[in-house]
Amino acid sequence: MKFSRKTLGIPYSVFLILFVVLPLVVLFFYAFTNGQGQFTFANLTGFFTDPNAIGTLIYSFAIAAVTTIVCLLLAYPTAYLLAMSSLKSKSVIVMIFVMPMWINFSLRITAMKEILTFLEGNLSMYPFLNSVIGMTYDFLPFMILPIYTTISRLDGALREAAMDLGADERSTFLTVTLPLSVPGIISGVSMVFLPAMTNYVVLDMMNNSTYIMGSLIGSYFAAYNWHAGSMIALILLGLICLFTLLSGSGEEDNQRGGALL
Amino acid sequence: MKKKIGTSVFLCIMLLVLYLPIVILAVYSFTDATNIGAIRGFSMHNYVTLFTTPELLEMIGGTLILALGSAVLATFLGTIGAIGSFYSKKKVNAAISTINQIPVINADVVTGFSICILLVVVLGVSKDTFVPLVIGHVTLCAPFVYLSVMPKIRQMDSSLYEAALDLGATPFGALTQVVIPQIVPGIISGFGLAVTLSLDDYFITTYTKPATFNTISTYVVNATKGSQTTIKTALWALSTIIFAVVILFVAIVNFRTVKKEEAQDV
């Protein structure tokens, strides 16, 4: 076979099919079969008729929603002020805000846990609050970065035009800057909301024994119950797809891990 | 003027929120206290424990080898994948790019669980071979390499490759001597991303690792559940060292970019 640039795509395509597509096909198959390999809806109906599972779904939404709102309320002003400021060597300061991303999350959560233990005496007093604090601490940089990127790319002339046309600072912000920064907000929200629904380690570390969606997969994994676990994974996958379609993002979602370099 | 002070105060408070827990932990890592709040004398024993406990050293070494190994594999696959995909037919390119997004958007819990089902449950690959673990990490990282290399290929002048061929280069030679050098910045940032993602991963590791192997993430999570205080406080020392390494790294990168900017100004 003659070498051409196209040929280079083959190994990666094979890799993607084998380890991205095929696992999902298998997941789908396991979700709709039972231990004997027979086709069944039992895993699906089992989830939606189990009050505990529905409670878990609601609890996940609650934790994810509160975490996302808190992150947004802290990250937006930070990103806005950073983007608008005329500070010298701004890129260095932005990097300092994003730097915690590169410290292992389990060590950061440990640090926060020690502080909370000192403040509260006993972590089990406020499990919901502690989980939200832990997740906010973990995910905050992922909210700051996309919002900062979007605001700093805005054309400053638009704001000047609004000011020239008589808008005061408040209405310039509300009618020009805020609407134009929505793509950054959406990107940030999807970087925080979905992990917050599934990242059950943070709850584990904060001694919160209530389940979120991710914990269900963890418990079925520990019990070798692949079929029920696959169904939960599939439901999560469905939610993720729905969310991605609604937010219209997906492309250029390359900010996990701090693509700042 | 008032507003400027307000801005600085708010940003400083945010920095404090982000860094105070890590800094307090760092301070306490130099004492023999087992809890935050207890005031004790200076001690290096956490660092001694960290560097003399075989279990801890193995765990740190394993994490680093896994991160570097899977990042190298992911960088290779993601880079040639991006080049190949870009020069393929539009439909093929679109298909590869779409599938590439799946691990990026998907929750790590789902990615890890699905890889575990395919490799361990269906195909019966033993977790002790490290094959599921490495495949899991490469699957997590390679799509991000693909995404950071792709824009560089788009920006590249594609007639250069053809010029090289016209001047007698073999396709392989043109690739390694003309194409690759131009996309090196994308490859490097992709590699950096891959390393950080692998280092920070918990879920894919949990679902695919051999029972006796631990990365920093899985080890710390288990250690915080236990009541062994010597290990717990030794991990404070580890946190402090990683914090110092990250600061050093950021300082070097910034120093270099500032220098570069200065050179361009002249």
Pick the residue from chain A with its C-alpha nearest to B258: A89
**ipTM of the complex, rounded to two decimals:** 0.88
Averaged pLDDT for residues A98-114: 91
Predicted confidence at residue B246, as pLDDT, reads: 92
Q: Is any Cβ of chain B less than 8 angstroms from the Cβ of A170?
A: no
Predicted confidence at residue B2, as pLDDT, reads: 65
Q: How confident is the model at residue A3 (pLDDT cuts 50, 70, 90)?
A: low
Minimal Cα–Cα distance from A21 to chain B, Å?
8
Element (H, E) at B254: helix B229-265
Out of A23, A114, A199, whose CB is closest to B36? Answer: A114
CA–CA gap between residue A108 and residue A134 (Å, rounded): 9
Q: Is any Cβ of chain B less than 8 angstroms from the Cβ of A81?
A: yes
Does residue A136 sit within a domain? yes
Pick the residue from chain A with its C-alpha nearest to B161: A5
Out of B24, B103, B217, whose CB is closest to A20? Answer: B103
Write the CATH number for A62: 1.10.3720.10
Q: How confident is the model at residue A107 (pLDDT cuts 50, 70, 90)?
A: very high
Averaged pLDDT for residues A86-114: 87
Q: Domain total for chain A? A: 1
Mean pLDDT by 10 residues, chain B (266 residues): 79 92 93 81 90 93 97 96 91 93 92 95 92 96 95 88 88 87 93 94 95 94 82 92 92 79 64
**pLDDT at A23 exceeding the cut of 90:** yes
Chain A residues whose CB is inside 8 A of the B116 CB are 221
pLDDT tens for A32-45 read 998 787 888 888 88
B259 vs A127, more confident: A127
CA–CA gap between residue A135 and residue A214 (Å, rounded): 14
CA–CA gap between residue A242 and residue A249 (Å, rounded): 11
CB B93 within 8 A of CB B245: no
pLDDT tens for A143-185 read 999 999 999 888 888 888 888 888 888 888 888 889 999 999 9
Predicted confidence at residue A1, as pLDDT, reads: 47
Encoded tokens for A172: 């310039």
Q: Which domain holds residue A187?
A: 51-211
Minimal Cα–Cα distance from B130 to chain A, Å?
15
**pLDDT at A106 exceeding the cut of 80:** yes
Predicted confidence at residue A249, as pLDDT, reads: 53
Q: What's the half-sphere exposure (Cβ side, CA atoms, 13 Å) at B114?
A: 30
**pLDDT at A253 exceeding the cut of 50:** no
Chain B residues whose CB is inside 8 A of the A200 CB are 109
Q: Is any Cβ of chain A less than 8 angstroms from the Cβ of B13?
A: no
Class of domain B58-223: mainly alpha
Predicted confidence at residue A134, as pLDDT, reads: 95
Chain A residues whose CB is inside 8 A of the B257 CB are 91
Q: Which of B16, B113, B257 to mutate to test the interface with A (most CBs of A within 10 A)?
A: B113
3-class DSSP state for residue A252? strand
CB A233 within 8 A of CB A31: yes
A6 vs B87, more confident: B87
CA–CA gap between residue B149 and residue B114 (Å, rounded): 27
Predicted confidence at residue B73, as pLDDT, reads: 97
Does residue A241 sit within a domain? no
Q: Is any Cβ of chain A less than 8 angstroms from the Cβ of B199?
A: yes
Minimal Cα–Cα distance from B161 to chain A, Å?
10
Chain B residues whose CB is inside 8 A of the A3 CB are 170-172
Predicted confidence at residue B185, as pLDDT, reads: 92
